[in-house]
Amino acid sequence: MSEPKEIFVRTDRCVGCLSCTIACAVEHSASKTLFGAVGETPAPKSRVYVEWVESDKKVPIVCRHCEDAPCMYACISGAISRNKDGVVITDTDKCIGCWTCVMVCPYGVIGRHLETHKAYRCDRCPDRDVPACVGACPTGALIYKTVPAYSASVRRHASREFVKAEGG
Amino acid sequence: MGTSDKILGKSIDPAVHQMLERAEKLNMETAWDRYEKMLPQCGFGELGVCCRNCNMGPCRISPFDDQGPKKGICGATADIIVARNLIRMIAGGAAAHSDHGRDLAHTLLLTAEGKSGGYEIKDEAKLAALAAEYGIDTDGRTKEEIALDLARAVYAEFGKQEGPIRFTRRAPEKRVAQWQKMGIDPRGIDREIVEIMHRTHIGVDNDPVNLILQGLKASIADGWGGSTIATEISDVLFGTPSPVRSEANLGVLKKDHVNIVAHGHEPVLSEMILAAAADPALVAKAEAAGAKGINVVGMCCTGNEIIMRHGIPIAGNFLQQELAVMTGAVEAMIVDVQCIMPALGDLCSCFHTRFISTSPKAKFPGAVHMEFHEEKALETAKEIVGAAVENYGNRVAEKVFIPGEKTECMVGFSTEAIVKALGGTLDPLLDAVKSGAVRGIAGVVGCNNPKIKHDHGHVALVRELIENNVLVVTTGCNAIACAKAGLMLPEAAEEAGDGLAGVCRTLGVPPVLHMGSCVDISRILTTCAAVANALGVDISDLPVAGAAPEWMSEKAVSIGAYVVSSGIFTVLGTVPQVLGSPLVTEVLTRTANDVVGAAFAVETDPVKGADLMIAHIDKKRAALGI
């Protein structure tokens, strides 16, 4: 199995412009265009959130698609499963809207669709190579990479800092 | 070597293709590259729902119903924020056009007082006509005496408190009455702009419709006030344009001449640059430096001003300013105000080109500032041209690449010139419209914008119009696009429908008439008013339409607003930053019909945009029973 990619967040890069939330909602709209999406009913919904942490941190937060996903085990109707790409998905036909997944999700990234009475969350944009939120981020705060590739970039950065701290 | 699809997709102009290939090769950046780096653009900005008018903010409204904030910290909704942002753009645009007009009034005043260094009153007929409009006595008075009164009168329009602005009364009585009924008859040019800034301050006007009405009021003060003053006083000082032949596109730069690009907007500077470039001493100096002469060419609206009065060739429109420098053959890029990219500074430093700023209002990184004042106009102009001539020796032959493209054009159709071409009266045109040979008239104007394939929006829309027998009058960057595309030649009648082609052949004019720079949209208003008055109807009854296919500037927002306020249906080719407010969108595209008898449409496909205009023209024809 090839190494799956994950959405990683570099909180030091986020300026809180919310471009990710707009791009996400647009990608999950019928028209898939901004100017079309703003007029649609029901209103398209973003699956990515940007939280504010005192005093000036902005933190984009999105479904982690946990390997040991609490939502998947908690779902009493068997609506939540993992697909072949490792993405945790909610089968809306099976979802009964009990919100158990919402209770157990440690990140709070599962939403309630008032019109359809179903739960919704990040689906990693199945029609795109790179998720819409990542593509829209103007500062590179959202990264779409495999774990080894992301870890390698963090190691490279840490190494440079290490050398700098030693006076190199 | 084939040009890449990527480059072909950026413009329809082969000169641009060649220069973009060269930019790629030299690893130099253009506005197109910077646009790509800017993507994706902020959705809140695109929708106009971001407010930075106070320091409780910035605030932005979520465009999606059930997520995110629906009100700013002060409680402003998306409708309020969008309306405020829109009219602040109108204020910016109206200020730019009108300050240009003010500069012309200032030059006229100094000239009348005998204090200007080299200007003269060239068009006494126009001076007399304007004096009559203002009720200024001309009997037995010198042109300077009349000009002094006229200069003071137009100067006063800017600071007027209670109106009316004289030139607004060129509009048909019905139109003025409608403005008065709606409370949008402007009181003074500066006053309406100031009032926009007041109303959009935190906690003042929070009624989107009331805000937009003030925007329309300021825009009318621009179109029928500041811009008309800019046009009319330029004509008095430099002559009213009449048809003249010239050439357009980067190929007008000459390999063996000192090349000076005059870029920006106000003819106050460029007229003197032309005079200085003809100075025998400077020409001799250029020849001594090994050049065959001094070649002044225009760019953007400065280019429009000098091509229509002197037949000075025009090197290109807005998105070509960087490309002109990249030819490596420009000794000086001389600029004054508006639409001058600050990117030129870094770019000029890659070549020998001297980037010379001249206006105390507009300084740029990397530019040499040679400040220009009317009192010493010719003297300073000679220094500037002298700097260009001296720079010829620094040109690096290996870095020179001038594309061969240049197209002949016939320009200079002021309202007066159109009437003259028609034999002294508008009747032949009115008859052609009545008979259906000319289906209607379209004003097509505006900028370039990398969001749309360069010149494609302009040329495709204009071609569709003339094929359908719609006579096109044009200014600004659209005019330059049409000139480059060969649509401004009498021979272009072949591309027009049979009816329009016949009229063009009879009169010996192109199907696309060059009416000047962006302030010269006032000429289109004046012409529309004259036609409406001749028929005893309002402008909104006429089979006319407007379009800004590639617009980008705040000036264009003001233009769109005053054209619609004048009763002319207008198609925008790029999406304005208002869609975050369903209410404002509704007001601009529908409700405006009830207020001013016209509205906007947005259509990014230029051919479909033209078809909307044609449908509108047909509707108006039917209503007139023609």
What's the CATH code of the domain at B212?
1.20.1270.30
In chain B, which residues touch A (CB < 8 A)? 40, 42-44, 46-47, 60, 62-68, 575, 579-580, 582
Residues B356 and B462 in one domain: no
Predicted-complex ipTM score: 0.76
DSSP letters of B285-351? HHHHTT-S-EEEEEEHHHHHHHHHHH---B---GGGHHHHHHTS--SEEEE-SSS--TTHHHHHTTS
Q: What is the pLDDT of residue A168?
A: 67
Looking at residue A63, what is its pLDDT? 97
Domain shared by B268 and B338, yes or no = yes
Least confident of A116-120, B171-175, B181-185, B286-290: A116-120
For chain B, report the end-to-end CA distance as a whole number of angstroms: 54
Kindly report the number of other CB atoms within 10 A of residue B198's CB atom: 11
CA atoms within 13 A on the CB side of B545: 30
Domain residue limits, chain A: 1-62+122-168, 67-121
A94-115 pLDDT, tens digit per residue, is 999 999 999 999 999 999 998 8
Both B45 and B82 in one domain: the answer is: no
Residue-wise pLDDT for A122-149, tens only, equals 999 999 999 999 999 988 899 999 999 9
Q: How large is the average pLDDT for residues B401-414?
A: 98
Locate B581 and state its tokens: 């407010």
Cβ B40–A46 below 8 Å, yes or no? no
CATH for A67-121? 3.30.70.20
* Fold match, A1-62+122-168 / A67-121: yes
Q: What is the structure's pLDDT at B584?
A: 98
- Residue contact B43–A22, C-beta within 8 A: yes
Query: For residue B232, is pLDDT > 70?
Result: yes
Q: Are B82 and B50 in contact (CB under 8 A)?
A: no
Domain span holding position B108 = 78-238
Please compute the mean of the pLDDT values over residues B179-203 and round it to a whole number.
Answer: 98
In a domain, B213, yes or no: yes
Q: Which of B449, B460, B426, B408 is nearest to B613 (CA)?
A: B460
Q: What pLDDT is recorded for position B1?
A: 56
What is the count of structural domains for chain B? 4
pLDDT at A40: 92
Q: Which fold has domain A1-62+122-168?
A: Alpha-Beta Plaits (3.30.70)
B541 belongs to a structural domain: yes
Average pLDDT over residues A53-62: 88
Q: What is the rounded average pLDDT of the residues B583-610?
A: 98
Max Cα-Cα span within chain B: 74
Which pLDDT score is estimated for B184? 98
Query: Where does the pLDDT of residue B68 fall: very low under 50, low under 70, confident under 90, or very high at 90 and above?
Result: confident
Closest Cα in chain A, distance from residue B458 (Å): 23
In A, residues 123-142, which contact B (CB 8 Å cutoff)?
135-136, 138
Q: Are residues B228 and B260 in the same domain?
A: no
- Is there a contact between B47 and A34 if contact means CB atoms under 8 Å apart? yes
For the segment B110-119, the average pLDDT, to the nearest whole number, is 94
B457 with B510, same domain: the answer is yes
Q: How confident is the model at residue A56 (pLDDT cuts 50, 70, 90)?
A: confident
Q: Measured in Å, how far apart are chain A's first and last C-alpha atoms?
A: 41
| Tokens describing residue B116 | 């200007």
Q: What is the pLDDT of residues A4-45, one digit of tens each?
A: 999 999 988 888 888 999 999 999 999 999 999 998 988 899
Residue that terminates a domain, selected from B238, B259, B281: B238
- In this structure, the answer to whether residues B314 and B459 fall within a common structural domain is no
- Condensed to tens digits (0 to 9), the pLDDT of residues B259-306 reads 999 999 999 999 999 999 999 999 999 999 999 999 999 999 999 999
> Do B275 and B394 belong together in one domain?
yes
Which of B373, B399, B425 is the last residue in one of the domains? Answer: B399
Contact check, Cβ <8 Å, B44/A43 = no
Q: Nearest Cα to B589, choosing from B571, B574, B608, B609?
A: B571
Model confidence pTM above 0.95: no
In this prediction, residues B344-366 reach a mean pLDDT of 98
Mean pLDDT of B16-21: 98
Alpha-carbon span B146 to B116, nearest angstrom? 16
Please report the pLDDT score of residue B419 as a whole number: 95
* Same domain flag for B48 and B87: no
Q: Can you give the CATH number for the domain in which B326 is found?
A: 3.40.50.2030
Residue B409 lies in a domain: no
Residue B158 — pLDDT band, cuts 50, 70, 90? very high
- Of B59-73, B237-251, B264-278, least confident by mean pLDDT is B59-73
- Same domain as B282, residue B206: no
Same domain, B214 and B304: no
